[in-house]
Amino acid sequence: GQQFILERGEYPRWDAWSGSNAYHIERLMSFRPVCSANHKESKITVFEKENFIGRQWEISDDYPSLQAMGWANNEVGSMKIQCGAWVCYQYPGYRGYQYVLEADHHGGDYKHWREWGSHAQTSQIQSIRRVQQ
Protein backbone atom coordinates (compact mmCIF):
# COMPACT_ATOMS: atom_id res chain seq x y z
CA GLY A 1 0.00 0.00 0.00
CA GLN A 2 0.86 3.67 0.10
CA GLN A 3 3.47 4.79 2.61
CA PHE A 4 3.80 8.02 4.55
CA ILE A 5 6.59 9.59 6.59
CA LEU A 6 5.32 10.75 9.97
CA GLU A 7 7.82 13.04 11.65
CA ARG A 8 7.61 14.45 15.14
CA GLY A 9 4.28 16.21 15.61
CA GLU A 10 0.54 15.68 15.92
CA TYR A 11 -1.71 14.17 13.28
CA PRO A 12 -5.34 14.69 14.37
CA ARG A 13 -6.93 13.48 11.08
CA TRP A 14 -6.00 11.27 8.13
CA ASP A 15 -5.45 14.24 5.82
CA ALA A 16 -2.75 15.54 8.20
CA TRP A 17 -0.49 12.60 7.34
CA SER A 18 -1.55 12.01 3.74
CA GLY A 19 -1.20 15.65 2.70
CA SER A 20 -3.79 15.25 -0.01
CA ASN A 21 -7.41 14.33 -0.53
CA ALA A 22 -6.19 11.97 -3.26
CA TYR A 23 -5.03 9.54 -0.57
CA HIS A 24 -8.11 8.93 1.56
CA ILE A 25 -6.61 6.52 4.07
CA GLU A 26 -8.27 6.66 7.48
CA ARG A 27 -6.09 4.11 9.22
CA LEU A 28 -2.50 2.99 9.25
CA MET A 29 -1.80 -0.73 9.28
CA SER A 30 1.89 -0.99 10.11
CA PHE A 31 4.76 1.16 11.30
CA ARG A 32 8.54 1.00 11.34
CA PRO A 33 11.21 3.45 12.49
CA VAL A 34 13.39 5.17 9.92
CA CYS A 35 16.99 5.89 10.88
CA SER A 36 17.94 9.40 9.86
CA ALA A 37 21.35 11.04 9.97
CA ASN A 38 22.71 14.39 10.97
CA HIS A 39 21.70 16.64 8.07
CA LYS A 40 25.30 17.75 7.57
CA GLU A 41 26.22 14.14 6.77
CA SER A 42 23.24 13.17 4.58
CA LYS A 43 24.18 12.34 1.00
CA ILE A 44 22.49 10.68 -1.98
CA THR A 45 23.61 10.23 -5.59
CA VAL A 46 20.96 10.00 -8.30
CA PHE A 47 21.67 8.41 -11.67
CA GLU A 48 19.98 8.96 -15.00
CA LYS A 49 19.66 5.24 -15.79
CA GLU A 50 19.34 1.89 -14.03
CA ASN A 51 22.44 0.17 -12.59
CA PHE A 52 24.16 3.49 -11.76
CA ILE A 53 24.71 4.42 -15.41
CA GLY A 54 24.50 7.80 -17.11
CA ARG A 55 24.52 11.30 -15.76
CA GLN A 56 24.82 11.50 -11.98
CA TRP A 57 24.24 14.15 -9.36
CA GLU A 58 25.30 14.12 -5.71
CA ILE A 59 22.75 15.70 -3.38
CA SER A 60 23.19 16.71 0.25
CA ASP A 61 20.26 19.09 0.67
CA ASP A 62 16.48 19.19 0.17
CA TYR A 63 15.26 19.96 -3.35
CA PRO A 64 11.58 20.82 -3.90
CA SER A 65 12.20 20.61 -7.66
CA LEU A 66 15.07 18.65 -9.18
CA GLN A 67 14.41 20.18 -12.59
CA ALA A 68 14.64 23.73 -11.22
CA MET A 69 18.02 22.82 -9.73
CA GLY A 70 19.40 21.44 -13.00
CA TRP A 71 18.34 17.80 -13.32
CA ALA A 72 17.26 17.59 -16.96
CA ASN A 73 14.82 14.69 -16.61
CA ASN A 74 11.72 14.02 -14.51
CA GLU A 75 12.88 10.44 -13.94
CA VAL A 76 15.69 8.82 -11.97
CA GLY A 77 16.98 5.38 -12.96
CA SER A 78 18.91 4.42 -9.82
CA MET A 79 20.23 5.87 -6.57
CA LYS A 80 22.99 5.35 -4.02
CA ILE A 81 22.35 6.48 -0.45
CA GLN A 82 25.69 7.20 1.17
CA CYS A 83 24.29 8.50 4.45
CA GLY A 84 20.90 9.05 6.03
CA ALA A 85 17.33 8.46 4.97
CA TRP A 86 15.63 10.30 2.13
CA VAL A 87 12.08 10.71 0.86
CA CYS A 88 11.77 10.92 -2.90
CA TYR A 89 8.53 12.27 -4.35
CA GLN A 90 6.89 11.72 -7.70
CA TYR A 91 6.14 15.42 -8.28
CA PRO A 92 7.72 18.79 -7.45
CA GLY A 93 6.84 20.38 -4.13
CA TYR A 94 7.08 17.07 -2.24
CA ARG A 95 3.84 15.72 -3.74
CA GLY A 96 2.70 12.40 -5.16
CA TYR A 97 3.96 8.95 -4.31
CA GLN A 98 6.64 8.86 -1.61
CA TYR A 99 9.58 6.49 -1.62
CA VAL A 100 11.67 6.14 1.54
CA LEU A 101 15.27 5.24 0.72
CA GLU A 102 17.79 4.48 3.46
CA ALA A 103 21.52 3.85 3.65
CA ASP A 104 20.77 0.86 5.91
CA HIS A 105 18.63 -0.96 3.30
CA HIS A 106 20.05 -2.66 0.18
CA GLY A 107 23.44 -1.44 1.36
CA GLY A 108 22.20 1.98 0.24
CA ASP A 109 22.18 0.82 -3.40
CA TYR A 110 18.92 1.03 -5.34
CA LYS A 111 19.86 -0.25 -8.82
CA HIS A 112 16.36 -0.05 -10.27
CA TRP A 113 13.31 2.05 -9.49
CA ARG A 114 11.33 -1.10 -8.64
CA GLU A 115 13.58 -1.49 -5.57
CA TRP A 116 12.18 1.74 -4.09
CA GLY A 117 9.25 -0.19 -2.64
CA SER A 118 6.54 -2.67 -3.50
CA HIS A 119 4.22 0.20 -4.42
CA ALA A 120 6.68 1.79 -6.91
CA GLN A 121 4.77 2.46 -10.12
CA THR A 122 7.16 4.72 -12.00
CA SER A 123 10.72 6.03 -12.08
CA GLN A 124 9.39 9.57 -11.93
CA ILE A 125 11.14 11.52 -9.14
CA GLN A 126 10.88 15.30 -9.11
CA SER A 127 11.61 16.31 -5.51
CA ILE A 128 13.81 14.91 -2.74
CA ARG A 129 14.25 15.73 0.94
CA ARG A 130 16.09 14.38 3.95
CA VAL A 131 14.13 12.66 6.71
CA GLN A 132 14.02 14.97 9.71
CA GLN A 133 15.61 13.83 12.95
Tell me which amino acid residue 122 is: T
Q: Does 15 score more than 90 pLDDT?
A: no
Tell me which amino acid residue 76 is: V
CATH architecture of 32-130: Sandwich (2.60)
Kindly report, residue by residue over 50-75, the tens digit of the pLDDT.
999 999 999 999 999 999 989 988 99
Calculate the alpha carbon distances from 58 to 18, 46, 68, 91 in Å.
Answer: 29, 7, 15, 19
Kindly report, residue by residue over 73-96, the tens digit of the pLDDT.
899 999 999 998 999 999 999 988
- What is the rounded distance in angstroms from the CA atom of residue 118 to the CA atom of residue 113? 10
